[in-house]
Amino acid sequence: MASLGIFGGTFNPPHLGHLICAQEAHAQLGLDLVVLIPVSAPPHKELRGDPGPEVRLELCRRAVADDRRFEVSSLEVERGGPSFTVDTLRELHARRPEDQLTFIAGGDMARSLPSWREPEEIVGLAGLAVAEREGVIRDDIRASLRGLAGAERVTFFDMPRVDVSSSLVRQRVAEGLPIRYLVPDAVASMIEAEGLYREPVAAR
């Protein structure tokens, strides 16, 4: 039996904040592997400046490279359409019934969990691990999940503050600014070689 961290997102593009989150989850939660799963299409928001799910999948593969702590899954990209977490966890559970799944989420994502599709099924299929520093925000998250069956399974791990986002990376590329040290070198190289994210932000 393996302990797997499930880390979903748009990864548009993947940046060092994503990798730090995955690393801290792996270390603090005692996971065997963290699996990054880029969405095909997010169900509740427009994906700005999207180069396509296959491109984001390849960016993720390059981001984790040969780091054996991490793996990239094409499950949602291959499935296509809106990517609902509950469907992904069901499929992973069916494929790997012996493994223990932990769904990794940021604080804002965890707060909104009750509004997701079948939230109680999500926390029934996987433990919920929230990347958030100790403090009042954790109490807010616990309060937002109160009344949700299975919410007692939530755990927290410390996430260093890293002020980088995918939107910032896209904006800097569009403005011709360097992105090295914000994304892995292999990701920066692919963005440059493929001419990704060069359109002006205001045009998106």
The per-residue pLDDT for range 57-68, each reduced to its tens digit, is: 999 999 999 899
Contacts 24+ apart (CB under 8 A), 96-100: 96/2, 96/4, 98/1, 98/2, 99/1, 99/2, 99/3, 99/4, 100/1, 100/2, 100/3, 100/4, 100/127
**Average pLDDT over the chain, rounded to an integer:** 93
- Cα gap 9→83, rounded to integer Å: 10
What radius of gyration do the chain's Cα atoms show?
17
- Going from N- to C-terminal start, the domains of the chain cover 3-163
What's the whole-model pTM score? 0.93
- CATH fourth-level superfamily of 3-163: HUPs (3.40.50.620)
Confidence of residue 136 (pLDDT cuts 50, 70, 90): low
